[in-house]
Amino acid sequence: MKVLVTSNSFGKYSNEPQRKLEEAGFEVILNPYHRMMNEEEFIECLSDIDAVILSTEKVTKKVIDSSPKLKMISRYGVGLDNVDLEYCKEKGIPVTVTKGGNSNAVAEFAVSLMLSCLRGVASANQYAKQNIWKKFTGLDLDGKTIGVVGLGAIGKLVVKKLQGFDVKILGYDVYYDEEFVKKYSVEKVSIDDLVKNSDIITLHAPSNGKAILGKEEFKKMKDNVVVINTARSDLIDLDALLEAIKNNKVFAAGLDVHENEPNFDIRFEGLDNVILTPHQAAISKEASNKASQMAVDNILDYFGKEKKR
């Protein structure tokens, strides 16, 4: 049987995950494009594949119907908005995730973006490499109110990592871990109150097809707000964000996720107070090793159970 791996960071720092698959009798096929595949490329690669370790490629109805041998999808990550889950269910194709595999990496990256945005680190570095001596007057993190949208595994880790700073934390979610919010002094608020009262807003929620931060939300925000997005690009109305930046409502923004990946929105490229990174928050050596092993274990677990039936 054959396993297609679309993620470029899978097994990058350890050959153990791939070796484990091969020892179990699987032939491992790596992404030949070394980037996110479009639908036609993905369909071509899946033509003779039994399982896929999936990165951010879109698993549409057309992709599924064009992959007659596909038996299961092992998502390399936790987000599933790129997968037609209903159609997978209809076709009897299970979808698994590597829950917690990269949570720490994303949380650390989000906090890094906060600090870099507040102090102009990325822009100062960019000018310095052009031999331009240009200083940026930043803002302190201490004393700020931080709004965390989404208190799942990643959101919780962000809260934990901020405990060493003198900050107030507001949290919004549909469901709350009451023990956690009490232990870490998270004030539960509505999304409206979070938007109005936060100095920094960091997004850690799944996509639901509607922007959490739109034109009306930006109007309600404090002046000099910092916006961080390491979750999904459609959580922010980018037109509204751009307008808020130009009107000096937003002090800085850190965006790791983008509307048309692997492309950036060129409207933000010339702005010193916007940090753009190529969807890399989840990528660290430790996260890669952990998520790779979990993705493999999910495949071996599934096919192991199939053999026993």
Strand order in the sheet with 72-75: 27-30, 2-5, 51-54, 72-75, 95-96
Partners of residue 149 on adjacent β-strands: 172, 203
Write the DSSP assignment of 232-276 as a string of letters: -GGGB-HHHHHHHHHTTSEEEEEE---TTTTS--GGGTT-TTEEE
| Helices 103-119 and 121-128, packing angle to 10 deg | 70
- 243 catalytic per annotation: no
Q: Which of 75, 204, 232, 258 is catalytic?
A: 232
- 232 catalytic per annotation: yes
The dihedral of CA 256, 262, 267, 269: what is its sign? positive
Q: Which of 27, 40, 259, 261 is catalytic?
A: 261
Structural contact between residues 145 and 166, judged by C-beta atoms closer than 8 angstroms: no
**Closest by CA position to 64, among listed 84, 41, 80:** 84
- 279 catalytic per annotation: yes
Please calculate the CA angle 34-89-66 and round it to the nearest 5 degrees: 50
**Closest by CA position to 17, among listed 285, 297, 278:** 297
DSSP E strand boundaries for the chain: 2-5, 27-30, 51-54, 72-75, 95-96, 145-149, 168-172, 186-188, 200-203, 225-229, 250-255, 274-276
Task: Determine whether 213 is exposed, middle or buried from the number of CB atoms within 10 Å of its CB (0-12, 13-18, 19+).
Answer: buried
Q: Which of 39, 187, 243, 279 is catalytic?
A: 279
Distances (CA, A) of 284 to 16, 104, 232, 290: 17, 9, 19, 10
Read off the amino acid at residue 177.
D
User: Any idea what DSSP says for residue 185?
Assistant: T
Active site residues: 232, 261, 279
